Chain A
Amino acid sequence: MSREIVKEEAPPFSCVVSAENRGLASLRSVRWRLNLGILPPSPSVDDLRRVTADSRRRYAGLRRQLLVDPHVAKHGGSNSPDLVMDNPLSQNPDSTWGRFFRNAELEKMVSQDLSRLYPELGSYFQAPGCQGMLRRILLLWCLKHPESGYRQGMHELLAPLLYILHVDVERLSEVRKIHEDHFIDKFDGLSFEENDVTYSFDFKKVLDSMEDEVGSQGNSKKVRSLDELDPEIQTIILLTDAYGAEGELGIVLSEKFMEHDAYCMFEALMSGAGGSVAMADFFSPIPAAESQSGLPPVIEASVALYHLLSIVDSSLHSHLVELGVEPQYFALRWLRVLFGREFSLHDLLVVWDEILTADNSPLHKDSGNEESSCFNLLNSHRGALIAAMAVSMILYVRSSLFATENATTCLRRLLNFPENINLKKLVAKAKSLQILALNSKLSSSSFTFDVAYNRSKSAVSGHNPSPGPVSPTTPLSLVPDSYWEEKWRVLHKAEELRQDSLDKQAPSGKRRWSDKVKLVLSRTESDPSPARAEKYKKGHRSSVRRSLLEDLSRHLGWKEDTETGDCFDTSNLEDRQSIEVQVEGQNETSIDSICTAEERCDSGSGTSVSEENSSVFSDPASSGSSTTNDHENDTEKSSVASNLSSDEIDDRHLNNPEDSPLPVSSPPEDVLLNYPHENESSGKMVSALKQKRHLSGRFQWLLKLGRNNVSQEASDKGVITESAKSANRDSKSNTADSSTAGSPSNSSPTIQRDVVDQNVMGTLKNLGQSMLEHIQVLESVFQQDRVQVGSLDNSAKNNLVGKGQVTAMTALKELRKISNLLLEM
């Protein structure tokens, strides 16, 4: 409870207790009544009781008035009712019979729904008493609000309210049993004096005497013992004391008046109690009066939901929009029943706790401020939390949504929300998104995708860094965020190691470079032979789908081949071998999984692969690279952390599209964007392997760094893959870099060929220059990212979180260094 009230010394029976000490935390029904505005936020128990009593009286009156039984003779009213009007066949709309028949129709509709209410908790909800109460409440509400009538779903809103009342009443009876003394007036235990006349019986004396005994119930004793009790029990007792304000009608937790209380809560929920979010609006087909969009409220709310989703995770949003999954298909049910059909009852109570705690008052904005939210839903804390909850649920299943290209499957996933969920995470995410939603509404002016929308995006992205770690990446992803940070650190270490090794092996490194350049040049010189073309194709396809193990095996195979050639230093070979051994050791077990993952990725990545293939052919050098190198490096690290390989596979995967991107710009990036998601779902190993194929060894580690970061953010991938690609291109010569044991089979034949040294230097310089250019491009893209809209790749990049951008920038810096090195050569 948010109210703070100082605990005072308690005069008997009207204790003023602090909200926190009140221990109302466990009494959901009272808490919700306070949240819904039925009970006043007043510290005094008496006030609560009075308000409760009033609301119950109102309901009883309503019931008497509206629930017409024409059979019951009207006593006191008209003695001789006008039978001409009041007979059962009367067509007169005012006749009681007419009303009776209309009520009967309504009741039929309600009963139909009620019979299907919560069958899994049928012992409570399908009991006739409970059903009768629900039916009456719904009937009366609908009769009181004829403009909305009864719609399916209202019963689902009502059921939890009745349930919590029931739970609290049960709690009360438990307390009663334990603390019987405070509830009952026991007179029969008293001993009578000699004259045995009740009138002159001196109660006080007896009570005083009883005080000495244990367990007396004198009034003074009562106060004392009340204070001794738990504040919670205290509250319960005070709220349910039959002698308190308003007597029995004022007993706040009363079984007799469950129906009345449930009706009050239901009415407050539906009407919004003067707040912004009124559930009844969601059932109405008419646009709200002040709606800017002219849509029915629930449609408008669904749009608001998608708007929030697009801010948070625009790739998922665009994916859903592409598939044609309109928000109202699933949001209608979610909103109308406040997620009642998506969670089990107990989970739902937790969710409703959060939603109801949120303030429902409409957030006023300056009338002069143009940028007021056009979404009524986002106009209050509660509404924003509802929207945020929905978006968080969508994000929870995002991997399965991305995995399918079929709208029906998406809808099926959304409409059959998974059973075993981490509710706390879901709610925590929703809360963080709520802040985002409230902020975004300030900047979202119009509803259409125009400059205003871009502005909103840019404004929102400014907010992104703060909730960075939580949003856009799904916090509910399989891998915790800390995992990626660890990877980063590991990679950094590896990078340093590599740099050291490079420095040490500078001369040999040069030679390696020359070897690689030879390799590259040999490739460039000769047309790709069919065999090589096949290998390329295979490589690329495998780059898209091949497993680490395959790479390794090729490595080994190639290595054996190269032993004959003089391209490689033995030291290199040894390095590679050692690395490979390590890798092999680790990866042997995972071959199968990788292979299967590959296949899956294969199916998903057909188009991208072909694009990559084409681009690869155009840039053979870039392809040649270092996926193997990367592989080695990755495997090294995998020795450090076995998970690393999967991480790297992700990176690889990210880098794979690099090859295609520059010539083929946006589509691959889209596919790219899909990749990370696919990876998450279907084996990161595979994707990473794909990427490996394409990367040059020299920039392996850089790319890995970049990739690691990129794997976290989809947009980063596009950027970094580009940079990596340019790096790859530039580092064709560097592919001969020692780090990799050997590029995939594609490179193996080329490495074995001789390369002309002259060309090597020239190539190196050219590579360095092009690398720089690419880096510049990437940086400019980064800058643009924040502002651009429209193209999918950009919008995907807009997913950038600060973290991703930071990592991407660091990666770019690394690339700069490398390019400088190249130029120096």
Chain B
Amino acid sequence: MLVPGKIQHIICTGNLCIKEVQDYLKTLCPDLHITRGEYDEETRYPETKTLTIGQFKLGLCHGHQVIPWGDLDSLAMLQRQLDVDILVTGHTHQFTAYKHEGGVVINPGSATGAYSSITYDVNPSFVLMDIDGLRVVVYVYELIDGEVKVDKIDFKKTTTATHSAH
């Protein structure tokens, strides 16, 4: 499913741990953004990152810095701090997606289903964002019981960004 050429950017929250994984991700897409997780051997990744794709501002952070881990309000604080429309964090190894205060907070979960100290049941998952103008469609791919399940969420950005449009 993950074939090169279809994806234009990869946003990775971190904890790739070794360089080989980074190389693999690079084969899928040359534009790779990574923030540093607590187990990353590569020390030169930043803690947080912001980038603009289309009309959206995206923020990236591993999430272990935000305490309590996975708490929406705290993450919202980070979102406001970074001033982004979409905040992508990880660390919890669980997929969540919130629409909050005119922005979206996405946790794509663990792509490999790696062990997590906070949950028992970790399903490998990742998120595909289709950014089209002022609209983003979020496709969630999860591997549940050996099958790939797909879900999608629509999000429209409003200029005022005071409330979610959907």
Chain B residues with CB under 8 Å of A75's CB are none
Determine which of A84, A89, A91 lies in contact with B128 in the assembled complex, contact meaning CB atoms within 8 Å. Answer: A89
Question: A71 in the interface, Cβ–Cβ < 8 Å?
Answer: yes
Question: B121 in the interface, Cβ–Cβ < 8 Å?
Answer: no
Whether A89 and B152, one on each chain, are in contact in the complex, defined by CB atoms closer than 8 angstroms, is no
Which one of B132, B149, B150 has the highest number of Cβ atoms from chain A below 10 Å of its Cβ? B150
Having A88-B6, A88-B128, A88-B130, one finds 7 other A-B pairs with CB under 8 Å, namely A71-B132, A83-B150, A84-B148, A84-B150, A87-B141, A89-B139, A90-B1
Question: B135 in the interface, Cβ–Cβ < 8 Å?
Answer: yes
Chain B residues with CB under 8 Å of A87's CB are 128, 139, 141, 150, 152
Interface size bucket, A side? Answer: under 10
Tell me the bound Cα distance from A87 to B139 in angstroms. Answer: 7
Whether B128 and A83, one on each chain, are in contact in the complex, defined by CB atoms closer than 8 angstroms, is no
Supply 22 A–B pairs (Cβ within 8 Å), ascending by A.
Answer: A71-B130, A71-B132, A71-B135, A83-B139, A83-B150, A84-B149, A87-B128, A87-B139, A87-B141, A87-B150, A87-B152, A88-B6, A88-B128, A88-B130, A88-B139, A89-B1, A89-B2, A89-B3, A89-B128, A89-B139, A89-B141, A91-B3
Question: B71 in the interface, Cβ–Cβ < 8 Å?
Answer: no
Chain A interface main SS type: loop
- Distance (whole angstroms) from the CB of A768 to the closest CB of chain B: 90
Chain B residues with CB under 8 Å of A101's CB are 6
Seen from chain B, the residues whose Cβ lies within 8 Å of a Cβ on chain A are: 1-3, 6, 128, 130, 132, 135, 137, 139, 141, 148-152
Chain B residues with CB under 8 Å of A90's CB are 1
| Interface pairs A-B: 6 shortest CB-CB | A83-B150, A87-B150, A89-B1, A87-B139, A84-B150, A71-B132
Tell me the bound Cα distance from A90 to B130 in angstroms. Answer: 14
Tell me the bound Cα distance from A83 to B148 in angstroms. Answer: 10
A547-566 with Cβ < 8 A to chain B: none
Chain B residues with CB under 8 Å of A71's CB are 130, 132, 135, 137
Tell me the bound Cα distance from A89 to B126 in angstroms. Answer: 12
Chain A residue at minimum C-beta to C-beta distance from B147: A84
Chain A residues with CB under 8 Å of B152's CB are 83, 87
Chain B residues with CB under 8 Å of A91's CB are 1, 3
Chain A residue at minimum C-beta to C-beta distance from B135: A71
Which one of B1, B128, B132, B139 has the highest number of Cβ atoms from chain A below 10 Å of its Cβ? B139
Chain A residue at minimum C-beta to C-beta distance from B150: A83
Tell me the bound Cα distance from A83 to B150 in angstroms. Answer: 6
Chain A residues with CB under 8 Å of B151's CB are 83
Chain B residues with CB under 8 Å of A83's CB are 139, 150-152
Tell me the bound Cα distance from A80 to B106 in angstroms. Answer: 23
Which one of A84, A87, A101 has the highest number of Cβ atoms from chain B below 10 Å of its Cβ? A87
Per-position binary interface string of chain A over residues 76-110, scored 1 when its CB falls under 8 Å from any chain B CB and 0 otherwise = 00000001100111110000000001000000000
Whether A89 and B6, one on each chain, are in contact in the complex, defined by CB atoms closer than 8 angstroms, is yes
- Distance (whole angstroms) from the CB of B99 to the closest CB of chain A: 18
Chain B residue at minimum C-beta to C-beta distance from A82: B150
Per-position binary interface string of chain A over residues 40-84, scored 1 when its CB falls under 8 Å from any chain B CB and 0 otherwise = 000000000000000000000000000000010000000000011
